[in-house]
Amino acid sequence: MNTDLQNMNVTVLMGGDSAEREISIKSGTAVADALELAGARVTRLDTATTGWHRDLPIETFVFNLLHGVGGEDGQIQGLFESLEVQYSGSGVLGSALCMDKAKTKLVWQSLGLPTPDFEIIDASSDLAVVIDRLGPVFVKPVSEGSSVGMSKAHDVSSLECALAKASESGVAVMAESLVQGDEFTVAILRGQPLPPIKIIPAADFYDFDAKYVSGTTQFECPAPLSEGETLALQALALEAFEASGAEVWGRVDLMRGASGWQLLEVNTVPGMTEHSLVPKAAAAAGMSFTDLLKEIYLGSMEVRYGA
C-alpha cells in the first residue's frame, strides 16, 4: 500500500445537495488544496452535478467530505461498496446509524452509556406532556448536522415554534432533555481519542452561526480538565464512537452537566474548514493538516481493505 500522498490518485467529494452544501464545499476545498500541496493528483467532484460518478478516475481513493444527508448517512458509502471504490471514513452501517441521532441514542441507552432522555415528536404530540416529562428541551431534526434546525424550548409555546422550525428539514424531529453545562467534543482518529476541546459559544448555544459565521466562538484545546477527567472523557467518547459503528475518524459531541458527562451525537464526516474542530484537536496532538489526512487514508485502508 502506498503510504505517501505524493503522486497518489485522490478524488475529493464535496458539495452535494444537503443543507450543509456550502460547508461541504469549504471542507472539500481545504482538503483538496492540502492534498495537492502534498503532491497528490486530485480530482474535485461536486455530487450535485448529474452523472458525477462517471467522472471518477480509475483506481482512485475517495476522500468523502460530503456533510449531511446523501454523504454522511450510508448512501454514498453503499454506492462505493457496489462500485468497489476505495473511500474514507465509516462504512454503510456506522454512517447510517450515526446520521440518525435518535437511533444512536437508543444504542447508547441499551449499553448504559449516559445520554439525555428524548422523545420523537410531531404535530400530533401532546407537547405539554413532553415538557412535563423532559423539562426544557433541545429540539432538533434527527438526521441533520451543523445544528441545522435546532433550537431550545422551555414551555409549550416555544416548543411549538421549535417543532415547526425543525420540521422544515422534512425528517423526524426529536426533543431532548436540555443539559445545562459546558460543551465538549472529542475527535477520534484510528481508534485513538485526540485532545478534547471545550466549546464556548458567544451565543446561546453552538449553533450554525457560531460554528461557521460569527467567528466569536472560543475553543480551549486541550480542554481545561484534570488528567483523570480527560482520560474519562476520552474513554467515554471512544466507547460511544465504537458502539455506534463509526470507523476511522469522526467526532463525538458531549455536554457536562450536573449529572456528569452526557453524550449528544457522533459526526462521521466532521467539518474540515478553517473553523473546524478535528484539525484543531490534531494540531494539539502535534499533527499537521496533511498528517491528519494521511492518517485518515491509512486508517480507511486498514479498516476496510486490510492494507
Q: Which residues are catalytic?
A: 20, 146, 212, 251, 253, 265, 267, 271
Per DSSP, the residues of the chain read -----TT-EEEEEE--SSTTHHHHHHHHHHHHHHHHHTT-EEEEEETTSTTGGGGPPTT-EEEE---STTTSSSHHHHHHHHHT-EE-S--HHHHHHHH-HHHHHHHHHHTT-----EEEE-TTS-HHHHHHHH-SEEEEETT--TTTT-EEESSHHHHHHHHHHHHTTSS-EEEEEPPPSEEEEEEEETTEEPPPEEEE-SSSSS-HHHHHT----EEESS-S--HHHHHHHHHHHHHHHHHTT--SEEEEEEEEETTEEEEEEEESS---STT-HHHHHHHHTT--HHHHHHHHHHHHHHHHH--
Cα–Cα dist 61/102, whole Å: 32
Q: Quick check: 55 and 45 in contact, CB under 8 A?
A: yes
